[in-house]
Amino acid sequence: MPVVISVRGVGKKYRLGATLGNDTLRDHLAQAVGALFGKKNQTEKADESFWALKDVSFDVKQGEIVGVIGRNGAGKSTLLKILSQITEPTEGEIHIKGRMASLLEVGTGFHPELSGRENIFLNGAILGMSQTEIKKKFDEIVAFAEVEKFLDTPVKRYSSGMYVRLAFAVAAHLEPEILVVDEVLAVGDASFQKKCLGKMQDVAQRQGRTVLFVSHNMVAMKSLCTHAILLEKGRMIENGEVEPIINSYLQKASENVWQRNFTNQAEAPGNEKVRFKSICLVPDLKAGETQPTPETPLRVECEFWNSLPDASINLSMSVETRGECVFVSASTPALLNPGQYAGVCQIPGNLLNDGVYTISMQLTKDRSVPLFKFADALTFEVVESRRDFHWHGKWRGVVRPNLEWQYPK
Amino acid sequence: MNTAETPSILASERVIRPRHGLVAVDFGELWRYRELFVFLAWRDILVRYKQTYIGFAWALLQPLMMTVVSTFVFGRIAKMPSGNVPYSMMIYTALLPWLFFANTMTRSSNSLVTSANMISKVYFPRLIIPASAVLGGVVDFGVGLLILAAMMMIFHIQVTLMLLLLPLFFLMALLAAFSMGLWLSALNVKYRDVGYLVPFMVQIGAYVSPVFYMTGMVPEKWRFWYTLNPLCGVIDGFRWCVLGPAFEPYWPGFFAGLTLVLVLLVTGAIHFRSTEKTFADVI
């Protein structure tokens, strides 16, 4: 297969500080006047720059579906923007063979005051379709979006689901030889997502088109992509088969803190009454797993020093995700004297959803007086594992208990 | 690189690399995007009067009200001369091109900033944005022409072959608006000062151009410098075509003004093209 995208040594430098954003004419005039009188350019020291992308080189062959993987700020979006010609690289060169369309957002250029019908034509034109092409596919687009009844309603009166469906439908009917897609699958409901994924697979496999795809959804990546590129801090660190790259990304990506140990009692978190010695997370991983999944049972182990004589003390733990408390669990109190103690709490499997969770641990006296709270002591990620559902989006909810069903009854 | 490519794929090879210095206008690419150009103008027009009660009548109302009010203030109260034609007729022949220029230049100057989202999400030749804003203004001008026709009937203005020259002066107004739009829209991306500057320029412009009076009232010694203003040439041209030879433009100034427009247009286009690569980064 011929190479259709060839990227050679591409880099993009952004300037930080005052020169970025809506700097006013005044600054520049002041600078020019200053320069006239031989003053040194004052912004020089503020002119810090950073490379959002540096030395990136790779080839994409015709018909490949390439996933671009990386954490936030790794340079994925910058790469797509350069490929889509929205912004210019600072250095390097890219050769693209074939008609390319990019989809960095669904519904770009949609105008809320215009009707669905008008927006289809407008959005199609913005994405590079000709009017005849749009006319030919109009019915297909409308059917795909399931908005037949609302074609002449301004889209500002659409529900957000309808809006997104219409926007994606237009984009899905683009027929470029190369398609660049950024995170658009994060939209719509389950059945529509499935439809979108099917459409993309169809585009790539049956019609031999090339797709470059950025997403945080590793399950979708695995099922769609043939190749992957892993970016880290603006540099390409891996390029090849999709599975091993996703695995190494998942390992690196998590900012997991599964263990906090303090050997020196004086410096351990706490106060003159109590201090924590250690907190650690012990997931009951299956062979081959590196991170807990929603099914994995977890154990939280904790050690602490108590300096209070004859005190009724209990341990409690709170689990939070995205700033929200999932639950708080407390032990029964025990009568303690100065010394070192330990406690363990079991979090059963099939309780947490996928996502990043933090654990805080607290010691409380007499079930009412907080002695010390070790906030955000541990951070861990629960990763998606499901293979038996045809649904690639985020499973909603803070918890995902495995409840008993009687079905069919 | 590979011999297996089909010719059609080879034909559309594109190279992306950093550009330095001045960049020329890519007319071939603009032609390929002509449909988008028309669509954006059509959207502007469609959206402009959506959810208004009287809709398109606003395009009629603005010049009509201005004509009535200024006829009363300048014609009746200040008793400004208007040659041998009704004062309101003299005003309207100036307001028609002036309002087109002022509204179009304003919209064109703001066009890039209001399209920030599109600029940071999709590629297309950026020149289309200020250009389609100008095209959108042409429709309002068309509505204004209807008023002109009606007024000519009411005041029994003789229709002459001179009217055939009107499109040429209109073209000059259009180019003047577009050239200013090119400069100001590109500058507006980086310096939002432009947003404050433009309304101010429009207000001053209405007084330094012969909108409410005749060019003939300007003292002889200032004549050339006064008529350097391209809009002065446009307005005189309109009056000349509609109201007769008494309003003939002062040609040395007219051609100097026209040259100024063309210089602004070419430099504006080059400046625009040379800065457009940073639009998505700074907008």
Give how far B112 is from chain A: nearest CA, Å. Answer: 13
Residue A153 has pLDDT above 70, yes or no: yes
Q: Which of A3, A20, A126, A134 is most worth mutating to test chain B (most B CB atoms within 10 A of its CB)?
A: A126
Name the percent of chain B lying above pLDDT 90.
Answer: 57
Domain count, chain B: 1
A31 contact B CB<8A? no
Q: What are phi and psi of B183, to 5 degrees?
A: -65, -50
Residues 146-205 of A with CB under 8 A from B: 154, 177
Considering the domain boundaries, does residue B280 fall inside one?
no
Query: What confidence tier does B164 reach under pLDDT thresholds 50, 70, 90?
Result: very high
* Core vs surface per residue A196-211: b (16+ CB within 10 A) or e: bbebbeebbeeeebbb
pLDDT for res A165:
84
Question: Does any domain span residue B100?
Answer: yes
Q: What is the pLDDT of residues A228-252, one digit of tens each?
A: 999 988 899 889 998 888 877 776 6
Tokens 């996933």 appear where? A67
- pLDDT over 60 (residue A109): yes
pLDDT band at A55 (very low <50, low <70, confident <90, very high): very high
Nearest one of A209, A221, A112 to A166, comparing CA atoms: A112
| B11 lies within 8 A of chain A by CB | no
The string of pLDDT tens digits covering residues A164-181 is 888 888 887 887 888 888
**Beta-carbon separation of B190 and A83 below 8 A:** no
Task: Tell me which residue range forms the domain holding B45.
Answer: 26-272
In a domain, B44, yes or no: yes
Per-residue pLDDT for B26 more than 50? yes
pLDDT of B9 > 60? The answer is: no
Average pLDDT for A329-355: 92
Helices B166-190 and B230-243: angle between axes, nearest 10 degrees? 150
Three state DSSP letters for A47-87: CCEEEEEEEEEEEEECCCEEEEECCCCCCHHHHHHHHCCCC
Residues of chain B neighbouring A114 (CB-CB closer than 8 A): 43, 46-47, 50
**Partner A contacted by B128 (CB < 8 A):** no
| Stretch among A52-56, A161-165, A295-299 having the lowest mean pLDDT | A161-165
Q: Average pLDDT over chain A, rounded to whole?
A: 83
Q: Is B200 on the interface with A (CB under 8 A)?
A: no
Which residue in A265, A277, A266 sits closest to A304, CA to CA? A277
* B279 found inside a domain: no
| Distance, CA of A337 to chain centre | 47
Q: Nearest chain B residue to A182 by CA: give it.
A: B121
Specify if B222 maps to a domain: yes
* Three-class secondary structure of residue B102 per DSSP: helix
Q: Is the pLDDT of residue A190 over 70?
A: no
Chain A contact set for B274 (CB, 8 A): none
Distance set, CA A273 to CA A304, A334, A339 (Å): 11, 16, 11
Q: What is the mean pLDDT of residues B127-139?
A: 93
Which residues on chain A are in Cβ contact (under 8 Å) with B280? Answer: 81, 86-87
How far, in Å, CA of B127 to CA of B176, rounded? Answer: 16
For testing contact with chain B, the best of A97, A99, A177 (most B CBs within 10 A): A97
Determine the residue of chain B that is closest to A180 in CA distance: B122
Residue A18's pLDDT is 45
Nearest CA in chain A to B197: A25
CB A237 within 8 A of CB A89: no
B254 found inside a domain: yes
Question: Is ipTM beyond 0.90?
Answer: no
CB within 8 Å: A95 and B280: no
Tell me how far apart the alpha carbons of residues A53 and A57 are, in angstroms, rounded to a whole number. Answer: 11
For A347-390, write each residue's pLDDT tens digit.
Answer: 999 999 888 888 999 999 998 888 998 888 888 888 887 655 55
Interface size between A and B, measured as CB pairs under 8 A: 123
**Nearest alpha carbon to residue A237 among A76, A106, A20:** A76
Neighbours of B279 (CB within 10 A): 24
pLDDT of residue A10: 94
What type of residue is A281?
L
Q: Cβ of A113 and B51 within 8 Å?
A: yes
Amino acid at position B155, single letter: F
Cβ neighbour number for residue A280 with a 10 Å cutoff: 16
Decide if A3 and B2 are in contact by the 8 Å CB cutoff. yes
Work out the minimum CA distance from A97 to partner chain B, whole angstroms. 4
> Using an 8 Å Cβ cutoff, are A136 and A214 in contact?
no
Per DSSP, helices labelled H in B50-127 are 57-70, 87-114, 116-121
> Which residues in chain B have Cβ-Cβ distances shorter than 8 Å to A28?
191
Looking at the DSSP bridge assignments, the partners of residue A281 are A300
A337 touches chain B (CB under 8 A): no
Our CA-based measurement puts residue B56 at a distance from the nearest CA of chain A, in whole angstroms, of: 15
Inter-chain contact A111–B47, Cβ cutoff 8 Å? yes
Residue B173 is classified by DSSP as H
Does residue A52 surpass a pLDDT of 60? Answer: yes
For residue A23, the chain B residues in CB contact (below 8 A) are: 190-191
At B252, is the pLDDT very low, low, confident or very high (cuts 50, 70, 90)? very high
A123-133 pLDDT, tens digit each: 888 888 888 98
B13 lies in some domain: no
For range B231-255, the mean pLDDT: 93
Q: How far is CA B242 from the centre of its chain?
A: 20
A257 contacts A390 by C-beta, under 8 angstroms: no
R_g over Cα of chain A? 27
* Residue A20 reports pLDDT greater than 80: no
Of A202-206, A209-213, A387-391, least confident by mean pLDDT is A387-391
pLDDT at A71: 73
Decide if B61 is inside a domain: yes
> For residue A316, what pLDDT band results from cuts at 50, 70 and 90?
very high
Residue with tokens 């002109």: B148
Give dist(CA B20, CA A271) in Å, integer. 62
